[in-house]
Amino acid sequence: MSTESANNGSRWLPRLMGALLLLMGLALLAGGIKLSQLGGSLYYLIAGIGFALSGILLLAQRRIALGLYGLVLLASTVWALLEVGLDWWQLVPRLAIWFAIGVVLLLPWARRPLIGPASKANTALLSVAVVASGACAVASQFTHPGEVFGELGRESSEMASAAPAMPDGEWQAYGRTEHGDRYSPLRQITPQNAYRLEEAWRIRTGDLPTENDPVELTNQNTPLKVNGMLYACTAHSRLLALDPDTGAEIWRYDPQVKSPVGTFKGFAHMTCRGVSYYDENRYVSRDGSPAPKITDAGQAVAQACPRRLYLPTADARLIAINADNGKVCEGFANQGVIDLTTGIGPFTAGGYYSTSPAAVTRDLVIIGGHVTDNESTNEPSGVIRAYDVHDGHLVWNWDSNNPDDTKPLAPGKQYSRNSANMWSIASVDEDLGMIYLPLGNQTPDQWGADRTPGAEKYSAGVVALDLATGKARWNYQFTHHDLWDMDVGSQPTLVHLKTDDGVKPAIIVPTKQGSLYVLDRRDGTPIVPIREIPTPQGAVKGDHTSPTQARSDLNLLGPELTEQAMWGATPFDQMLCRIQFRELRYEGQYTPPSEQGSLIYPGNVGVFNWGSVSVDPVRQLLFTSPNYMAFVSKMVPREQVAEGSKRESETSGVQPNTGAPYAVTMHPFMSPLGVPCQAPAWGYVAAIDLFTNKVVWKHKNGTTRDSTPVPIGLPVGVPSMGGSIVTAGGVGFLSGTLDQYLRAYDVNNGKELWSARLPAGGQATPMTYTGKDGKQYVLVTAGGHGSLGTKMGDYIIAYKLAE
């Protein structure tokens, strides 16, 4: 081979790098011009010029290209440090590609073909820049932005659980008790032995998604353990009784749910979070009081079905089932069934039913219902109804549009349309005689001009009703004139708190907006201060905003978003995210929806959602998994709505808002490459000391293993959908992260103690119980979440300590 041929062959690498840098530089330049016109950072424009010139010089085989590239890389490193400091995940899109190119340019095969003065200054400058950016990457491995490290340092607070008594090894209600604390007094599993947990058994329910199901088919069930059995429901409302030691099926009940249009595809979502349990002997054995008053019809039910389960179905029924054998309790209501559509009026298929378990008390079974968000201004009532727990007759009803008239609705009449609803789980304090309702808002979510006085008073807050009469005893609204879908999705947690003024019966209400409101549950007065803060103004034409919003001093709000907080997998989609940020309206939390498009943060999935929190009443510790994801909300004038536009789910796509002057489009704030536009972490685990109301510890939680095309588990901290539990043994459990794991944590310091890979998404709240063998089990439903995109399945899996 001739010398000329060899030289030509060796020049391909700098030419290739030159062409690549020229294209990259031009892309940055184009985007940088756009960003600068919007008032954003000038970095991309300047860097684009620098990288493009470096590319041109490399194509021309000029050695000075190395020095120029080194200068731009060094300047980029300084800029990145000034913007985000030593935050590894924020440095990656700013420097990773440029660092890698710098390393390649230092290779002999890239340097030797270059021509120009033989000075080593160019290579030295590039070397310094590469070393500097590499050193930043190394140093950032030892920092933990956004995390809090600490330890509770106490095993007991001299407080005891005020929740209703039950055997330690049982889980009798969705939140274990009607107080919704998700706390178990079991202590076999500890931080010292949790590593020994292993799978005890798994079963498959056989309930898998079909082509007739909606996108948002989810498996959010938390099974019960009571009456010597486990009880679990599936997305299609099937109910299974299982042996707690082996998972063997004891009986199964299938209500054969039906859609009025023959398919469930049009349903906004389809799930069953749980069932409710009632035992005729419970109250007598619990406090020695006489049994509840029962009608003759109820007495027959009590004798035939002394232990009952109440199953809500996706076709709006509430069915009473004998917990012993799975047979319908025929004497209850109408052949064992309450038709929840009675008095509701017309609605689209899937537009009304209960996704959550009813609350059960001595005398009542109390239930709300899901109403489809943003469908129209004429949706079904959000009425909450209390039925006799024995014979199923209607005892009272509470409708936020008609709150003072709680006597049972007369036959043939209808409840008010479009009132605020309760789609989540209520909590009950039978000693105080109150039920606490977490209320949603009046749909449409982003259009409030048509809100009723009742909605303006009660929606997006908590309401305490008198158990005997259904009358409101007190209420506290957390979001005034809600335009952001800030439904209270979390079950309130009832706990006795030790304060400077003595022990107080408290209610803790976690909310989507990141505040945890702590009130005296006797009268609704704040225990932790709540301040009314000024908020951005300027709603769309015809609507208005509240001048202030309620913010609790106890909150897990993240910092407000800035252009510097924008992220991406590369500098290019990060730049596009910065452009999007500048184009959207954003003035902080509670920025009103707009025709321009508004950035909503926290987004409508919320910091806290239906998973709520768990509270250890003995340690006075709150354990939780907050999320931080922004959404984009854009109001679309009715005349601009494209014909045939369809929603993807209640939180994505075009939402019709029929009857309002605007439709709305909503979607997560994502880069063109499908990663969030805001920097991680997007999900944490955290603990709060309820003595001091301070965060004890807070750590990133979860990996990208199941969220990217390449299954690499980057520990960025991912969102979680599902609740946590905490035990007297000092171990908390959580399974709702987007990666498919059940994890155990030391609640004193947040250390991850153990994890188990799940065969499908674990977007449900785990539970724990004692088996017939005397062993403590931890159980989780792993069935996936359709709209979150986690793997679907039909698994129930139990774990216990290895022998």
Sheet hosting strand 276-279, strand order edge to edge: 276-279, 307-312, 317-322, 337-339
Q: Angle, nearest 10°, between helix axes 64-84 and 121-140? A: 20
Structure-token pair, residue 465: 């009703």
Token look-up 């909150």 returns: 555
d(CA 283, CA 360): 12
Say how many CA atoms lie within 13 Å of 182 toward its Cβ: 33
Phi-psi region of 434 (alpha: psi -120 to 50; beta: other; left: phi over 0): beta
Structure-token pair, residue 670: 């994502």
100: β partners: none
CB of 733 within 8 A of CB of 766? yes
CB of 354 within 8 A of CB of 316? yes
Q: What is the DSSP letter of 416?
A: P
| Residue 419 φ then ψ, to 5° | -85, 160
Could you tell me which residues come within 8 angstroms of residue 12 by beta carbon, excluding any fewer than 6 positions away?
Answer: none
AA identity, residue 577: C
Specify the DSSP element, H or E, that contains 18: helix 12-37
CB atoms within 10 A of CB 499: 15
Residue by residue, DSSP assigns 263-285 as -STT-S-B-----EEEETTHHHH
Chain centroid to CA 115: how far? 58
Structure-token pair, residue 443: 């749909």
Burial 109-148 (b: 16+ CB within 10 A, else e): ebbebbeeeeeeebbebbeebbebbeebbeebeeeebbee
CB atoms within 10 A of CB 289: 9
Does a cis peptide bond (omega within 30 degrees of 0) precede residue 681? Answer: yes
Residue by residue, DSSP assigns 476-496 as EESSTT--S-----SPPEEEE
Structure-token pair, residue 504: 């107080």
Chain centroid to CA 776: how far? 28
Strand duo 724-727 + 224-226: pairing: unpaired
CB of 669 within 8 A of CB of 642? no
d(CA 102, CA 123): 10
CB of 198 within 8 A of CB of 249? no
Q: Identify the CA nearest to 436 among candidates 400, 462, 457.
A: 462
Structure-token pair, residue 28: 């940055």
Active-site residues, by number, are 485
